[in-house]
Amino acid sequence: QKEVEQDPGPLSVPEGAIVSLNCTYSNSAFQYFMWYRQYSRKGPELLMYTYSSGNKEDGRFTAQVDKSSKYISLFIRDSQPSDSATYLCAMSDNYGQNFVFGPGTRLSVLP
Amino acid sequence: DADVTQTPRNRITKTGKRIMLECSQTKGHDRMYWYRQDPGLGLQLIYYSFDVKDINKGEISDGYSVSRQAQAKFSLSLESAIPNQTALYFCATSDSKETQYFGPGTRLLVL
């Protein structure tokens, strides 16, 4: 079993839809949970991070962490064509030495 | 991200050749990382360094070596390139447990 698993997609949605992206993990030592967005031919860029369990909202984006289920989600409201990218979840432990990425989900938002 | 630069951006080489990929950062971060990205596999950690005197192997270090010449510079070498090292290579920097900043990537093709 991989340490971090993520729905591979690709995922296609119409403009304005609510998008849900999810990751599961196996290592209970993970405390920091991140979402990165990667456009084609670009490096990943940090979207949001959350410490431990709970929700965090930033504009149209909401990150949720459920440590009891080892499950994290990223919700995108009112999705736009500019949101079309690959989304990578990532997580690390308290020491920052074990930093692991999921394989990514490719999202296309159709106008 | 202009704060993290990688050279070259694209490279074609032949099997058995030695090549070096370079990374420079102006963010003043102590931590630097090298990843490779293959379709469907996400980001795999090759090597990481938490300061100039600290070098650590990642999950796929075989066939690679690194040099941390200064706080701002971290180079990745392929001593004898092979075709399955064809991939997209990213350098990243960090000053914390929850965020990494990525360079634009180097696309490497080994013939």
For chain B, the average pLDDT equals 92
A46 interface with B at CB cutoff 8 Å: yes
- CB proximity list for A100: less than 8 A, separation 6 or greater: A3, A4, A25, A27, A30, A90, A91, A92
Name chain A contacts of B4, Cβ cutoff 8 Å: 43
Dump pLDDT digits (tens) for B61-93: 999 999 999 999 999 999 999 999 999 999 999
Encode chain A (111 residues) as per-residue pLDDT tens digits. 578 999 878 999 999 999 999 999 999 989 899 999 999 888 999 999 888 888 999 999 999 999 999 999 999 999 999 999 999 999 888 766 678 899 999 999 999
- CB proximity list for A107: less than 8 A, separation 6 or greater: A9, A10, A11, A12, A13, A19, A21, A79, A83, A84, A85, A86, A87
Mutate to test the interface with A, among B51, B94, B97 (most CBs of A within 10 A): B97
A59 interface with B at CB cutoff 8 Å: no
The Cα–Cα gap between A11 and B71 comes to 40
Note the pLDDT of residue B2. 67
